[in-house]
Structure formats: structure tokens, C-alpha cells
Amino acid sequence: MVSPDMLRRYDCFAGISEATIAALSRIGEVQSWDAGERLFMGGVRPRFLYLVIEGMVDIQVEAGGSERVVVDSVGPGDLLLWSAVVEPHVTTASGVARTPVLVIGLRAGELRQLLEREHTLGFRLMQSVSRSLSERLGGAFVQLATGQGQPSGWRNGRQGAGDKTPYANSRSGGPG
């Protein structure tokens, strides 16, 4: 359980009733990681939606083989694991603590049930998720346009000059 006061610090909960904040506090827990630890992996069903209290988390995607590329970094006040509330509820990236990290974790299944009952909460939270996705997508566009974030050997979305299939190694998706 987390304190209702901790939740009220986040814009996505502004204007939410005390009863709903109390319900959120009951499905929340504070979690922490040391620098270098993985918070979550891509390709799995998230158990939590995270709200970052402190620290920095690098969002990474696999870029061929075992190489990972940082596509974004998030910090205090940011949401992580939006896929907890967006179908198909599968993460599209991994998160690794760049610094020690402290988050509020809201249990995903119980959160989805609460969102179905509390429409104002659902609307406010989805506004925050949409804003987060928009910012991360914009950042990804900049990385693509400038060639930043591509692993060595990748050019124009393809791996190596000998690749005969133009789209065989293209990557799509975003952090989740």
C-alpha cells in the first residue's frame, strides 16, 4: 500500500475523488532497484504500471542479436509500463535503472478493473499515457531522422550492406 499523498503528486490523479485515490493506494506498492538492474523486459505481460518517484530509467530495445539501444530515458513524475493498461498488454521495450530508482507500482489487473469502474480516473490516466506515448514517439522520430540510436552496422533500417531483403531487419514499436 502507498500513501494517498504520494499518489496526489502525479498530475494524472488531479481531480480524482478521495475514494478513488484510496482504492489506488491499496493496489500500489513502492519498489526500488539499484543502478544497472532491469525493472522489466520487453515481450512480457507487465504486472504493474510504474510511476517514477526518483531516479532515471533507460528504455531499451533489442537491435539485433544481443545488442540493446537506449531509445528514451524517464525520470521522476514519468509513467512506465503503459502496456499495463493498453492492449494487448505486452511490453515493447525493456527498462534498466541508470541510477538507483524508486517507483510506485500499481498492480496491473486491479488497476484495469478500477479504470473500468472509475471513468474519470480512466480518462485522466489515459491522457497521461497518451502524452507519454506521443513524447516517446516524437523522440523516436528524431532518433530515426538523425541516425542516433542505431547499432553499429545498421543503415537505413537494414543491417549491413549485404542484406538483400529491404525490410528484413527493420524495427518498429515503442517503449511500453
Which domains can be identified in the chain, with CATH numbers? 4-107+118-146 (2.60.120.10)
More confident call, 61 vs 107: 107
- Cis omega (within 30 of 0) for bond into 175: no
pLDDT at 174: 38
Q: How would residue 17 be classed by pLDDT, with cut points 50, 70 and 90?
A: very high
Length of the chain: 176
Can you read off the three cell numbers belonging to residue 78?
A: 514519468
Scored b (16 or more CB within 10 A) or e, 129-156 reads: beebbeebeebbeebeeeeebbeeebee
Can you read off the three cell numbers belonging to residue 49?
A: 504500471
**Amino acid identity at 129:** V
- Alpha carbon distance 160, 153 (integer Å): 5
Instruction: State pTM to two decimals.
Output: 0.77
- Alpha carbon distance 37, 6 (integer Å): 24
Lowest mean pLDDT among 43-47, 145-149, 157-161, 163-167: 163-167
Non-local (6+) Cβ contacts of 58 within 8 A are 70, 72, 73, 95, 96, 97, 98
pLDDT at 23: 96
Residue 58 has pLDDT above 70, yes or no: yes
Secondary structure E strands in 113-167: 154-155, 158-159
- Alpha carbon distance 165, 69 (integer Å): 22
- Alpha carbon distance 174, 137 (integer Å): 7
- Whole-number average pLDDT of the chain: 83
- Rounded average pLDDT over 129-151: 73
Q: For 82-95, how does the pLDDT look when each residue is reduced to its tens digit (9 = 90+)?
A: 999 999 999 999 99
- Alpha carbon distance 138, 157 (integer Å): 17
Q: For 152-165, how does the pLDDT look when each residue is reduced to its tens digit (9 = 90+)?
A: 433 334 333 333 32
Residue 75 has pLDDT above 90, yes or no: yes
